[in-house]
Amino acid sequence: MTAYEDQRRVAAPNAAHWDSPPVLPEGLRPGTADGAIATAPVPLPWTRLATPAAAHAGVAGAALLCWAVALTGTDLGRISGYGLLAALPPAYYAALALLAGGFAVAATRRRVQPAVLGLYVVALVVVLHATTALLYSEPRYAWTYKHLGVIDYIAGHGSVDRWIDVYQNWPGFFALNAWFSRATGVAPIDYAAWAQPAFELANVAAILFALRGVTRDPRLQWTAVWIFVVANWIGQDYLAPQAFGFLVVEVILGLILRCTPASARQTALGRWVDRRVDRIASTARRGRLARRPARAAPPMSPAAAVVVGALCSLAVVVAHQLSPVMLIVSVGALTLMTGRPPLWIVCGLIALEAWWLYLSHAFLLEHFAVFSVDVAASARPAGPGLPGAHLGVDVSRAAMLVLLLVAAAGVVRRLRAGHTDVAPLALAAAPVLVVGIQAYGGEAPLRAYLFALPWLAFFAAAACDATSLRGSWRLVGVTVLLGIGTLFGYFGQEMVNRIGRDDVAASRWFLDHTPPDASLMLVAPNLPARLNGRYAERLDSPLSLVETPGFRPHRLGPQDVPVLERLLRKGGTRARYLALTPSGERYARFYGLAPGDSFARLGRALAASPDFRLVFRRGAAQVFEYVEAA
């Protein structure tokens, strides 16, 4: 037997942990006789890892190069009912394919390299979330500009007024941005477009931090983060309090999972669930004892974690309406199921939220229903829409179902391996409780999905776990299925989400050049209104023609001028304005409310009417004043 064969025979029990043939004792090489001295130098240990890392860096670099080429070849005029997907060239999808294949190969090696996996995750965030920031002239989403107005108001006044709107009753995030803008001299509208990639990268760090409280396996941690990024199409990572709230909640959950002593006492319900899960796990392992998940070393002492967690909890409570409720139900579920954290922390969170709600209760009782359950509520208008307009909604919802099924397979696989995973199971299930409390304008199920997503991704990663290239097909398949849903969910409605400079200019002109009691009417919604602090002088939401009762989709034109006049006369103010904007035109066309040439025909009819005077025009955006000629 040669020395090399003897070395392989001795090392065979541990061969599953190797990526390549074992390193031979110094001076030996394959094919030499026992005791023969090799003349070739033996590679140093780190050189075995350098080549795969360099190869993966090349794949990620090639993907980013394809992405850059795609950006230069994107024609925004081709955005359609299929959204931005119809405008992106094949190079964009090639970039995604390279990242998906490269990550699957890197994540299924016997010895993973976290730095390589992190490179792929960061590249994916850039390709998905920096695309619109570079392609569009202004931040996307009309509702982003409502937040810009609150930031500008706080920056200008140095205080809030709780009777203005609900945002000023939860001003934490807006005050933070007002301070940042004044300290740096950078206007919020100039960095708002980059909030999405910034928040998504911060989410990756926060979720990694939390996952280290349930597993020490870097393969599982990074695969879960990859799946989170692939499956997160909800679009709640823009410049908004909910993006900030989600990020901070993940940090708080990470502190609980990693810093709370494991000896904490469980509730009776938690002990009962624990025994049942242990029994299921033992049965799945054919009688072997279930293993408790190994946790990484705590990043700080329990006392320090309580202080940091309390400050983070205060930040969540004063910044957003729904995120504190998600935090309370998640922490409460952990306490019930695991005994960590102690019950007094849950009580403290409830008391903190109750105190803040008490400060806002007068405004809330007058304007909102604190408890509202409507499972049929929808935040999207009904209508025939363009071809592909409804496909984005359907495909993205189907991807949610795929993730649930894969996560369920991961739960079974973890149980068969002897892991009980009570904590991540509780965190995945707890957000669903909020749907039974507040419909949140039809968005509560989507918010519940978002807060459950890191933990569903953890179990989905377990279902895709493999230590050989042959097993990478599972991760590739899940990435493709979830990724299709995300592409349609995230980019499929860009006709509505895209905001242009003409839209912003029209809104700013109205706020800066009309009297405080002026009213504004739109032909179709989607104007980036309230983009500066003067919004507080005009709190009434603009009425839109296509949303009036009895409106039927049709080609707009001269026949609609008398209808608009009647609606404007009902305004009750002396200064009355009507705006036609490109974002409104795209909204009406996307949802099938008016064909493409409608706004141009209506604009010509208004310009010919003696009752309307054109007071502002930039590009396709027009603002008319209703003068009601005698």
User: What is the C-alpha end-to-end distance of the chain, expressed in Å?
Assistant: 110
In this predicted structure, the answer to whether residue 48 has a pLDDT above a threshold of 60 is no
Say how far apart CA 561 and CA 326 lie, in whole Å: 47
Tokens representing 462 are: 């377990």
CB 459 within 8 A of CB 231: no
Q: Which residues is 372 bridged to in the sheet?
A: 438
Q: In this structure, are residues 594 and 555 in contact, taking their beta carbons and an 8 Å threshold?
A: yes
What's the confidence (pLDDT) of residue 33? 36
Taking residues 554-580, what's their average pLDDT? 90
pLDDT for residue 12 is more than 60: no
Q: Is the dihedral of CA 546, 548, 549, 551 positive or negative?
A: negative
Give residue 266's pLDDT band: very low, low, confident or very high (50, 70, 90).
low
Structure tokens at 569: 């006369």
612-618, strands of its sheet edge to edge: 543-544, 519-522, 576-580, 621-626, 612-618
157: how many CB neighbours lie within 10 A of its CB?
A: 12
| pLDDT given for residue 272 in this prediction | 63
- Per-residue model confidence as pLDDT tens digits over 407-432: 999 999 998 888 888 999 999 999 99
Q: What is the mean pLDDT of residues 352-367?
A: 87
Q: Distance between CA atoms of 31 and 33, rounded to whole angstroms?
A: 7
d(CA 451, CA 618): 41
Q: Which residue has the tokens 């669930």?
A: 273
As a whole number, the mean pLDDT across the chain is 86
Measured CA distances, 127 to 70, 91, 121, 196, 258 (Å): 10, 11, 10, 12, 32
Task: Classify burial at 434, counting beta carbons within 10 Å of its beta carbon; exposed 0-12, middle 13-18, buried 19 or more.
Answer: buried
Closest CA to 528 of 44, 90, 192, 269: 192
At 346 the pLDDT is 95
Contact 520, 542 (CB under 8 A): yes
State mean pLDDT over 569-595: 91
Q: What's residue 538's pLDDT?
A: 85
Least confident of 217-231, 305-319, 481-495, 560-574: 560-574
3-state class (DSSP) for residue 616:
strand
Indicate whether 18 pLDDT > 50: no
Q: 284 pLDDT band (50/70/90 cuts)? A: low
d(CA 434, CA 244): 19
Average pLDDT over residues 378-384: 57
Rounded to the nearest 5°, which phi and psi values hold at 547?
Answer: -100, 0
Q: What is the DSSP track for 113-131?
A: -HHHHHHHHHHHHHHHHSH
Measure the CA–CA gap between 73 and 512, rounded to whole angstroms.
37
If phi > 0 it is left, if psi is from -120 to 50 it is alpha, else beta; for residue 93 that is alpha
Decide which of 437 and 398 is more confident: 398
Q: How do beta strands 612-618 and 543-544 pair?
A: unpaired
Could you tell me what percent of the chain has a pLDDT over 70? Answer: 82
Q: pLDDT band for position 2 (50/70/90)?
A: very low
CA distance linking residue 301 with residue 259, whole number of Å: 7
User: What's the mean pLDDT in 63-84?
Assistant: 96
* pLDDT confidence bin for 551, thresholds 50/70/90: very high
Range from 76-85, 335-344, 370-379, 466-475 carrying the lowest mean pLDDT: 370-379
Mean pLDDT, residues 204-213: 97
Range from 200-204, 264-268, 286-290 carrying the lowest mean pLDDT:
286-290
Average pLDDT over residues 249-259: 96
Strands 621-626 and 576-580: what pairing?
antiparallel
- The residues spanned by each domain of the chain are 3-42, 52-157+167-494, 500-626
Burial environment of residue 15 by CB neighbours within 10 A (0 to 12, 13 to 18, 19 or more): exposed
- Residue percentage of the chain with pLDDT more than 90: 69
Q: Tell me the pLDDT band of 283, cut-offs 50, 70 and 90.
A: low
pLDDT band at 442 (very low <50, low <70, confident <90, very high): low
pLDDT at 6 over 50: no
Judged against a pLDDT cut of 70, whether residue 83 lies above it is answered with yes
Q: What is the pLDDT of residues 99-135, one digit of tens each?
A: 999 999 999 988 899 999 999 999 999 999 999 999 9
How many Å is the maximal CA-CA distance in the chain?
112
**Rounded to whole angstroms, what are the CA distances from 124 to 119, 127, 158, 399?**
9, 5, 39, 18
Least confident of 28-37, 259-268, 295-304, 597-606: 28-37
Q: CB–CB of 319/353 below 8 Å?
A: no
Q: What pLDDT, on the 0 to 100 scale, is given for residue 297?
A: 80
Whether residue 257 contacts residue 214, with contact meaning beta carbons closer than 8 Å, is answered with: yes
Q: What is the 8-class DSSP label of residue 624?
A: E
The secondary structure of residue 217, as a DSSP letter, is -
Q: How confident is the model at residue 630 (pLDDT cuts 50, 70, 90)?
A: very low
Taking residues 235-264, report their average pLDDT. Answer: 91
